[in-house]
């Protein structure tokens, strides 16, 4: 049975092995004179140990599937909005990017009405720019249209 | 003693300057809002608002961030009492009796007791911080790389021991954080590690995007899908004052909570959560009417609420005196200080006395501001909770993106936040604590450097950690903790961590 601990342990083991493989490109040095790969390799071995312990231990059995993943649609939508922001921020500019993110979240994900979505999206995109960009003087990117 | 008071006088001259006072006030207001809003705890709040301090000098910036920190600790109690939703994790215990009091029509007195308890705890613990930090910093001047290495190892072991739930999981998360901290240019050899062609990773994974991703964004991902928000109990302003009986019942718990909270705050780990749990357990054990706990006992509210605020100041002791954060929130504060060119540690008090003493004095001022602010404005904060979450979370998301982007003006940080949010979401679903990851990330470069410097000093002899008395003592304490953690395996009884986990799950 795939328990939460086994799933997490498996991921940690895979990550530790990945770090060990990647560390081969760096000089490991010696016990007396550690190189740049030494500490990462020691940590990866520790992580490998903890991962194996998690897989093998007899703790409270919680199935990974029972962790309550029903909110995954919202989680994916939020990640997608965030990824779009990362891609578009320096291309489209701050205000346009945030406007699109808000319309996506409010109209498509939350199914809010056109008026509420438009008002909130415009207010947040331009209001937050005014707060951070103008008042607090945080340099926020401008798009090709100059805003 | 006289010197301390002279320094404090100097600190008040700094803290009461109109410019500094204004930012202390702003920090407290914003912090309270952050504490009240579900999904934005003090850690994410400080991380998000860090860019807002970039235009300020170091003293104002640190004073404002500290205001956000203890404002958030205050604010968390409001949602706990009125909605049974802890605004931040440390308010879990406040929910139990605070909400029960509110259900019995005593919401106003519950808020007052929480505010006064927090004020007393905050003020007394700042006095303790003021007297404890300078001698500790003086003592820490004897520390070399082996002592720092031993101290940091001990810190991580204590963090794992004090974490709720499984110690294996906590240690695995700390190691994961340390591993993430290995990304970037190795300070001793100049090798660029695990960069995959991304030049921006030269300075490593940023603490701010990691903290906002792990705590802020992952929390939004977990809560955005929840359909209905629970009702808010509205207190009447004219019924805020507790009765004489309630004052009497809260005095002892506030005193005990303050002492316990400060002592636990100094120890690395999730100090706020643990201090409020320990305080609740102590009050129930000492009570003549333990059966009232869970049904609106004043002591069950006053003790934990004081303890978690006292722990806030306690957590500053190792950070200011040793430059070693005792938990994820001080770790982010430490990173924020470094952004402003301040290096906390033994030399801070000598080299930047205006910052250290100004910071201490501003904590006194901040506590008064919070007491004055919280009670009259409770109606406003409650109204904030009425904003539908489908409007609130997109706004929090925007602030997360701005906050993270503005630290380095880099979209790479937004990608790091996104990755850490995904990691945090998955780990929390699988019942892992994410706090040790942030602490590991912050400590990784220091721990690696001190290990390699120690070995360079000793010509590769690991015995250096055992032959130097301070380092050996610290490591011995760490080993003892490891042995202690094995005790429940032998006795097959529930240790305090298991009991705390049950309490957090409301069982």
Question: Which residues of chain B carry a pLDDT beneath 70?
Answer: 1, 38-40, 85-90, 162-165, 226-232, 234-238, 268-273, 488-507
pLDDT at residue A46, as a whole number: 94
User: Over the stretch A58-111, which tens digit does the pLDDT of each residue have?
Assistant: 766 677 777 777 788 889 999 999 999 999 998 899 999 999 999 999 998 888
Task: Give the chain B residue nearest A90 (alpha carbons).
Answer: B411
Q: Residue B164's closest CA among B462, B435, B345?
A: B435
How far is the C-alpha of B116 from the C-alpha of B273, rounded, in Å? Answer: 19
pLDDT at residue B445, as a whole number: 87
CB B275 within 8 A of CB B260: yes
- Quick check: A128 and B399 CB within 8 A? yes
Task: Give the chain A residue nearest B415 (alpha carbons).
Answer: A86
Phi, psi for A146 (deg, rounded to 5): 90, 10
End-to-end Cα spacing for chain B: 48
Strands (E), B64-189: 184-185
Of B390, B411, B455, the CB nearest to A89: B411
User: HSE on the CB side for B153, CA within 13 Å?
Assistant: 24
- Enumerate the residues of chain B whose CB falls inside 8 A of the CB of residue A62: 431
Residues 6+ apart with CB under 8 A from A129: A94, A95, A98, A140
- Enumerate the residues of chain B whose CB falls inside 8 A of the CB of residue A36: 186, 188-189, 191, 193
pLDDT at residue B87, as a whole number: 60
* CA distances in angstroms from B175 to B87, B191, B238, B453, listed in the order given: 28, 21, 52, 21
Residues 6+ apart with CB under 8 A from B58: B337, B340, B341, B342, B352, B355
- Quick check: B224 and A50 CB within 8 A? no
Task: Give the chain A residue nearest B448 (alpha carbons).
Answer: A39
Smallest Cα distance from A132 to chain B, Å: 7
CB B320 within 8 A of CB B132: no
Residues 6+ apart with CB under 8 A from B187: B445, B449
Q: Which of A13, A40, A120 to mutate to test the interface with B (most CBs of B within 10 A)?
A: A40
pLDDT at residue B418, as a whole number: 94
CB B330 within 8 A of CB B271: no
- In this prediction, residue A147 has a pLDDT band, given cuts at 50, 70 and 90, of low
3-state secondary structure B382-417: HHHCCCCHHHHHHHHHHHHHHHHHHHHCCHHHHHHH
User: HSE on the CB side for B348, CA within 13 Å?
Assistant: 31
- Chain centroid to Cα A69, Å, comes to 17
By CB atoms closer than 10 A (0-12, 13-18, 19+), residue B384 is middle
Q: Which of A16, A74, A119, A140 to mutate to test the interface with B (most CBs of B within 10 A)?
A: A74
Phi, psi for A141 (deg, rounded to 5): -70, 145
pLDDT at residue B177, as a whole number: 93
pLDDT at residue B227, as a whole number: 59
pLDDT at residue B126, as a whole number: 84
pLDDT at residue B356, as a whole number: 82
Specify the DSSP class assigned to residue A29.
B
Residues 6+ apart with CB under 8 A from B231: B83
By CB atoms closer than 10 A (0-12, 13-18, 19+), residue B136 is middle
- Enumerate the residues of chain A whose CB falls inside 8 A of the CB of residue B432: 8
How far is the C-alpha of A4 from the C-alpha of A66, rounded, in Å? Answer: 9
pLDDT at residue B182, as a whole number: 94
Residue A40 clears pLDDT 50, i.e. is over it: yes
pLDDT at residue B39, as a whole number: 61
Phi, psi for B106 (deg, rounded to 5): -110, 35
CB B437 within 8 A of CB B210: yes
How far is the C-alpha of B23 from the C-alpha of B362, rounded, in Å? Answer: 10
User: HSE on the CB side for B423, CA within 13 Å?
Assistant: 25
Of B55, B178, B406, the CB nearest to A43: B178
- Quick check: A7 and B191 CB within 8 A? no
- Quick check: B186 and A36 CB within 8 A? yes
pLDDT at residue B270, as a whole number: 57
């Amino acid at each position: 049975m795939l328990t939460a601990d086994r799933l997490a342990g498996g991921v940690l083991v895979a990550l530790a092995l990945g770090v060990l493989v990647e560390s081969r490109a760096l000089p490991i040095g010696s016990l007396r004179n550690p190189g740049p790969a030494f500490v990462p390799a020691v940590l990866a071995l520790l992580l490998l140990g903890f991962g194996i312990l998690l897989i093998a231990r007899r703790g409270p059995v919680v199935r990974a599937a029972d962790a309550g993943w029903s909110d995954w649609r919202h989680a994916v939508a939020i990640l997608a909005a965030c990824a779009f922001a990362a891609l578009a921020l320096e291309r489209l500019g701050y205000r346009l990017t945030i406007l699109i993110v808000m319309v996506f979240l409010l109209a498509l994900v939350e199914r809010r009405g056109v008026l509420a979505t438009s008002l909130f999206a415009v207010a947040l995109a331009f209001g937050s720019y005014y707060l951070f960009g103008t008042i607090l003087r945080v340099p926020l990117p401008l798009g090709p249209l100059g805003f | 003693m006289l010197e301390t008071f002279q320094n404090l006088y100097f600190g008040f001259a700094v803290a009461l300057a109109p410019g500094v006072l204004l930012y202390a006030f702003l920090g407290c207001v914003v912090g309270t809002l952050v504490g009240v809003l579900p999904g934005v705890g003090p850690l994410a709040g400080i991380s998000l608002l860090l860019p807002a301090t970039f235009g300020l000098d170091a003293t104002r910036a640190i004073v404002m961030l500290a205001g956000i920190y203890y404002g958030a600790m205050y604010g968390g109690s409001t949602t706990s009492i009125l909605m049974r939703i802890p605004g931040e994790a440390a308010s879990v215990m406040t929910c139990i009796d605070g909400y029960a009091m509110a259900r019995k029509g005593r919401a106003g007195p519950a808020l007052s007791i929480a505010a006064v308890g927090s004020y007393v705890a905050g003020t007394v613990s700042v006095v303790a911080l003021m007297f404890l930090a300078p001698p500790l910093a003086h003592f820490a001047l004897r520390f070399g790389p082996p002592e720092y290495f031993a101290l940091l190892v001990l810190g991580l072991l204590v963090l794992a021991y004090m974490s709720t739930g499984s110690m294996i999981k906590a240690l695995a998360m700390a190691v994961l954080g340390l591993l993430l901290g290995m990304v970037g240019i190795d300070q001793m050899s100049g090798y660029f590690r695990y960069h995959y062609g991304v030049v921006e990773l030269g300075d490593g994974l940023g603490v701010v995007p990691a903290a906002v991703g792990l705590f802020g964004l992952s929390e939004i991902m977990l809560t955005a899908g929840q359909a209905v928000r629970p009702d808010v109990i509205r207190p009447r302003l004219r019924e805020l004052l507790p009765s004489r009986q309630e004052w009497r019942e809260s005095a002892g718990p506030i005193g005990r909570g303050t002492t316990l909270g400060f002592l636990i705050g100094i120890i690395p780990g999730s100090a706020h959560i643990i201090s409020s749990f320990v305080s609740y357990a102590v009050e129930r054990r000492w009570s003549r009417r333990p059966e009232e706990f869970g049904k609106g006992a004043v002591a069950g509210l006053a003790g934990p609420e004081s303890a978690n605020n006292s722990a806030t100041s306690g957590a500053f002791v190792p950070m200011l005196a040793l430059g070693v954060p005792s938990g994820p929130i001080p770790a982010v504060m430490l990173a924020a200080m470094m952004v402003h060119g301040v290096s906390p540690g033994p030399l801070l008090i000598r080299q930047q006395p205006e910052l250290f003493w100004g910071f201490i004095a501003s904590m006194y001022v901040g506590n008064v501001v919070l007491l004055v602010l919280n009670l009259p404005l409770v109606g406003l904060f409650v109204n904030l909770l009425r904003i539908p979450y489908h409007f609130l979370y997109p706004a929090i998301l925007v602030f997360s993106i701005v906050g993270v982007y503005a630290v380095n003006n880099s979209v790479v940080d937004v990608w790091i936040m996104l990755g850490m949010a995904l990691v945090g979401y998955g780990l929390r679903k699988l019942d892992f604590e994410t706090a040790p990851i942030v602490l590991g990330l912050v400590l990784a470069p220091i721990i690696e450097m001190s290990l390699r410097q120690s070995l360079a000093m000793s010509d590769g002899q690991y015995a250096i950690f055992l032959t130097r008395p301070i380092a050996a003592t610290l490591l011995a304490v760490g080993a003892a903790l490891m042995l202690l953690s094995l005790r429940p395996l032998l006795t097959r009884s529930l240790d305090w961590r298991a009991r705390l986990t049950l309490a957090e799950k409301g069982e």
